[in-house]
Every structure is written in C-alpha cells, then in structure tokens.
Structure 1
C-alpha cells in the first residue's frame, strides 16, 4: 500500500514522505490514526504543502540544533500540578505541558511531537525528559514537578 505521511512516525518517516507499507499496517493503524493519507495523484500535490509546513517547524541545521540543546540543558524547568497523598499526581504531565513550561521559562519553542517521555510523569520530583531536535541531536533536561498552590 502506498501512503503519504501527514505526521512524524517513529522508525518510519516524516510528514510528506511517500512510502510503501504493508496493507494491514496502513489500513488498520496509519490511516485511522490520521498519521497518513492514501496515495493518489491528487494527494501527491499536497506533499508540497506538507513539506513546506514541516520546514517552517524544523530546526535549520546541526549547528542550530546544538544551540537549542545547550539552551535547554543549561537550566531546570518547573511545572506545578495537583497531587494527592504520597506525591502522586492527579493525572500525568503531558508533552504539551512540558513545551509550555519551557516556553514560559524563556527557553526555545519546541514541537510537542518531538518530546520523548520514556515513562509517564505521574509523581512529584525531578524527571528527565528528552527532545529529539535533529536526527543527530537529542537534548536531555530536567523537569521539576511541584505541588500547585
């Protein structure tokens, strides 16, 4: 099955990539999740628009990615969340909340889809977060979750 990715999919490709995938994977996962659209000649024309939007969001080059990495790793970012007994959160911290905290602290603007959370953040304290800025650059920084007042 031939598809066009509309969002980044780990180990598969980036938005605008035209790929050949197994029928079941495309039909049962990629298309229903909105991660891809079926390939047609009309949809092929949308690839230019998708790639233009991706270029606007993307880090310019390796040097720029390293600058952003240095800015991210130089500080700790704080988040306030409601918590119950024992420091357990009501819900969890999302990638969007992390991006907002970095932006509010004067850090660089990040794409929430590039934030990689190994485990869900469901407790108070310090947590390591990774952001894939470039295929060769991954930034690791600390998010401190405290009780909201």
Structure 2
C-alpha cells in the first residue's frame, strides 16, 4: 500500500514522505490515526507544498545553525508583555507562540515554536532563560523578560 505521511512516524519517515507499507498497517493504524493519507496524484502535489514549507522552516546545517544562534544570542534580552494581576501572576501562561512572536518583534530570526525549550509553565512576571534547539549540536540561549501590561 502506498501512502503519504502527514506526521512524523518513528522508523518510517517525516511529513510529506511517500512510503510503501503493508496493507494492514496502513489501513488499520496509520490512516485512522491521521498519520497518513492514501497516495493519489493529487495528494502527491500536496506533498510538494508540505516539503516546501518544511524546508523553509528547517535549519540547513551546522553553519546555518551557528548563524541563527549568533542572531538569537545577539538579542541579549527579549521582552514580552503579558496581562497580569496583583503580585505579578499572569492571566494564563506564556506559550511558545508568544515567545516566537517576541523574538521576531525584537528583530530576531523567525524560528519554529517546536524548537523552543521553555522552562516549566511561565505563569508570573520575571526573567527566564529560554533555550532554542537549532541543531543536535547547537543550542542558543537568551533571556526572556516577562513584563506586566494593562
């Protein structure tokens, strides 16, 4: 059975890969769980769109990862305003998407939110050290300063 993966499947491939699997594995597990779709010519065109989007987000190598690390660490401190109550407790928590938006607003590069290594839930005002795993060998660190807004 020929299928197109929509999510990463361990030992099989990444999103957008066209793979050949046994009929039962595809029909009983991959398709119902939403990990894959049936292969057709039209779906194969969608694969090219998925691959292009993945390549745009992807760090291209160790040298590129070091360049992005230098850009992120050059920011020193990234400020993020969040609504808070008395005592500095936030209404809700800081999400990875919020942090990525703050990095872009500070003039940093666009990164994938799944690469962030946030400390346990950020639920109060203060300074936090955030890591960004850019490559298996390269991790950038910067300070996130969560400030209260009205």
Normalising TM by the smaller chain, what interval? Answer: 0.7 to 0.9
The DSSP-based 3-state class of the residue aligned with 1:72 is: helix
* Contact 2:116/2:133 (<8 A) preserved: yes
Instruction: Could you tell me which runs of 5 or more consecutive residues in structure 2 were left unpaired when the two chains were aligned.
Output: none
Distance 1:102 1:83 in 2: 21
Larger radius of gyration: 2
Gaps of 5+ in 1: none
Distance 1:12 1:124, change over 3 A: farther
Q: Which residue of 2 aligns with 1:81?
A: 82
What secondary structure, in the 3-state scheme, does the structure 2 residue paired with 1:140 have?
strand
Give CA-to-partner distance per residue, 1:10-53, whole Å, 9 cap, x none: 9986432456679557634xx2xxxx332424434533331122
Q: Give the match for residue 65 of structure 2.
A: 65
Separation in structure 1 between the aligned mates of residue 146 and residue 128 of structure 2, nearest angstrom: 8
What root-mean-square deviation, in Å, do the aligned CA atoms of Structure 1 and Structure 2 show?
3.1
| Matched residue SS, 1:143 | strand
| Residue pair 2:7, 2:36 contacting (<8 A) in 1 also | no
Output the TM-score relative to the length of structure 2: 0.74
Instruction: Please tell me whether residue 92 in structure 1 is matched to residue 93 in structure 2.
Output: yes
Q: Which whole-Å CA distance do the structure 1 matches of 2:120 and 2:107 have between them?
A: 26
- Normalising by the residue count of structure 1, what TM-score does the alignment of the two structures yield? 0.74
Q: Map 1:1-149 onto structure 2 (within 5 A).
A: 4-6=4-6, 14-18=14-18, 23=28, 27-28=32-33, 31=34, 36-42=35-41, 43-74=43-74, 75-149=76-150
Judged with a 3 Å threshold, the aligned counterparts in structure 2 of structure 1 residues 9 and 121 are, in CA distance, closer, same or farther, namely farther
